Structure 1
Amino acid sequence: MESLAKAIQMRKQYLDILTEPGKPDTPMRTEGLVECWFSLGLYNHWQGEEEVARADWVQAASLSQAYIERELPTLTSERASNYDRLSRKAALAAALSGQESLARTFFSHTERFSTGLVTGHEERPADPGAVLDSMGIHPLSRVYSLIRLGRLSGFHGLIFPEASSDEAIWIQTDIHGLLETAEHCLAIGRREGLKSFAIETRLIPLLRALVAVLEGRGAAEEARKALVTYERSIRDMAGFYYIYPVVLDLKAAFPTVFTA
């Protein structure tokens, strides 16, 4: 990948800036550090430096853990969805560095945050519009987290009961209802002329194939084909950053499915 060396150089330069002596410890700095360590882990793993990559991901997970634990006591439902990207990245970093217990904690956080919930005991999200984004990011984060946690049913979700309506309701649903919600959100994005939903769209066939296997309805071979298709859809650094960690995580989390 021609732009990989440049991306590594830029991340290291940004890391140097963030770790300069006297740099104030702000949320933006913490998120920047997590981003740097997570990215460097991906780049190093791609180049075969697996031990170095694991050390990078340990750093990303550790920083995220301290940050999220500090924010949780005062986090509100209205703000929860702002944290699901960070917690999902932390979950992947923990999983890829061999810290599966910590990864499950982060996936649990992500599942709630992407639903607009803090504790999971709230009656419903305070701001449904904040979690039904037109790029499907929050719904897909929830779907992925629930699959990783082994929860395919027995929960509530924001669902579009009618394909022709953009009015969502909070009802009992399952993983299929959430996948349909994600697709509806992406359809809204297309109607609004958004062009950056393509990466998210590529994930849905893979998740559907995996769910079919987990429910005993589908063949592992179909899921493996879907994973290969997903991995081969990497076309640029943005795709690499989004797709590559998912591929690595699914192979490790579901070896009986994705290892022939």
Structure 2
Amino acid sequence: MRTAGLVECWFSLGLYHHWQGEEEVAQTEWVQAASLAQNYIEGDLPTLTCEDAPNYARLARKASLAAALSGQASLARTFFSYTERFSTGLVTGHEERPVDPGAVLDSMALLPIYRVYSLIRLGRLSGFHGLIFPDANSDEAVWARTDIHGLMATVEHCLAIGRREGYKVFVSETKLIPLLRVLVAVLEGRGASEEARKALITCERGIRDMADFRRIYPVVLDLKAAFPVVFTA
């Protein structure tokens, strides 16, 4: 908990200083965040179990963005790989299936969104297994071969469950998911970059408070840097 709090602190400071135009300071803080997370995660990795993996997904995601924003592309890719596995309830990625599907299909859809985003950043849009809801009228998920579209449908199903349980509609649902859908369409050759840029602007303009700022702003910065042909042409 202490390490996760420190990583969050350095990461947020980096966002603030970048916003203020203090790029050198921001870079230093993001490097610090990624380094702390790397020491913590890789120190625990040899004994990490599938039951514990989902608890490390948030930290790995934060580290992946910190590494990416500080120009550490190789380290960022490593952390995106960790995030993808941990958010699925896997440690190595070679396990047959998640031990506890309920641990990774949360009603706020945080872990499924982490996996979708990480797979997009890794350039893996198909050829993998995932927990999906084959019956739109059932909340029983199965481990099956799927693609990025199946995982995004899983995200939306989790959010629908959350609404039934009384959760509000999250900005990730109204801004981030549509952005990722448009981006996937462009990457698959079915969409226009102009639409993706419009979706990115809409997502960024959806920032209403500090919680949105911490959630949306790093994604905007990361996508612009990762897909310059799409978002900055």
Q: By the TM > 0.5 criterion, same fold?
A: yes
* Residue aligned with 2:131, SS: strand
Query: Is residue 2:80 matched to residue 1:107?
Result: yes
The residue aligned with 1:4 is none
Query: Is residue 2:231 matched to residue 1:258?
Result: yes
1:69 aligned partner, one-letter code: E
The count of aligned residue pairs is: 232
Structure 1 Cα separation of the partners of residues 45 and 29 of structure 2: 24
Question: Following TM superposition, by how much is the alpha carbon of 1:200 offset from its aligned partner in structure 2, in angstroms?
Answer: 2.1
2:78 aligned partner, one-letter code: T
Structure 2 Cα separation of the partners of residues 232 and 66 of structure 1: 35
Matches within 5 A, 1:138-217: 138-195=111-168, 197-201=169-173, 202-217=175-190
* Residue aligned with 2:51, SS: helix
Q: Percent identity?
A: 80
The residue aligned with 2:53 is 80
C-alpha offsets along residues 220-256 of structure 1, whole Å, 9 cap, x if unaligned?
0000000000000000000000000000000000000
Structure 2 Cα separation of the partners of residues 199 and 228 of structure 1: 14
Query: Is residue 2:9 matched to residue 1:36?
Result: yes
Structure 1 runs of 4+ aligned residues shifted over 4 Å read none
The residue aligned with 1:249 is 222
TM-score normalised by the chain length of structure 2 = 0.99
The residue aligned with 1:125 is 98
Q: Is the 8 A contact 1:136 1:200 kept in 2?
A: no
Question: Following TM superposition, by how much is the alpha carbon of 1:29 offset from its aligned partner in structure 2, in angstroms?
Answer: 1.7
Question: Following TM superposition, by how much is the alpha carbon of 1:41 offset from its aligned partner in structure 2, in angstroms?
Answer: 0.1
* Rg larger for: 1
* Residue aligned with 2:118, SS: helix
Structure 2 Cα separation of the partners of residues 77 and 247 of structure 1: 31
Question: Following TM superposition, by how much is the alpha carbon of 1:31 offset from its aligned partner in structure 2, in angstroms?
Answer: 1.2
TM-score normalised by the chain length of structure 1 = 0.88
Structure 1: which 5+ residue stretches go unaligned? Answer: 1-27
Structure 2 Cα separation of the partners of residues 210 and 62 of structure 1: 29
Query: Is residue 2:208 matched to residue 1:238?
Result: no
Q: Is the 8 A contact 1:223 1:257 kept in 2?
A: yes
CA RMSD of aligned residues (A): 0.6
